[in-house]
Amino acid sequence: SPSAQVVHSAGRRFIVSPVPEDRLKEQ
Amino acid sequence: AEDTGVRVELAEEDDGKKASIALKLWVEDHKKLKGKYKESGAIEFSFDLEKDVPEVVAQEMVESGFFHESDVKTVGKSIRDRVALIKWRRARTVSAAA
């Protein structure tokens, strides 16, 4: 799925993507 | 680093030279967060190792709606721990090369 993006007013871009597959198993 | 329930890792290879590095942050243990955490994905962002301050980036994440204000310290600490490790590794690589 396309990753969502949020750009903060200070200019930093936050890109949301699925948690890395191999880390999900650790949860 | 203390397990805060929030994981921060490199999102790219660290060549030891670039000032800004891509980091990826995600929640591994929702129970450790005070506020309700709605985002289940990983949040990727760029961090300037010389200029940026972990707690400021954490506040930006709160203001961007990723976390509740009550978790800004936890998020800030998780970023600080990872940044400290990156800087430590860089210093160790430089001293090894010297």
Give me the interface pTM, i.e. the ipTM. 0.87
Matching residue, tokens 């204000």 = B69
Whether residue A24 lies within 8 A of chain B, CB to CB, comes out as no
Cα separation, B25 vs B6, whole angstroms: 7
Which member of B41, B46, B65 has the closest CB to residue A19? B41
- Phi, then psi, of B65 in degrees rounded to 5: 90, 10
Record: contact A12-B57, CB cut-off 8 A: yes
C-alpha distances out from residue A14 to A27, B58, B65, B70, B89, Å: 23, 11, 11, 20, 25
State pLDDT tens for residues B22-79.
999 999 988 889 887 666 689 999 999 999 999 999 999 999 999 999 999 999 999 9
Chain A with chain B: Cβ pairs closer than 8 A: 49
**Beta-bridge mates of residue B47:** B21
Q: Is B54 helix (H, G, I), strand (E, B) or coil?
A: helix
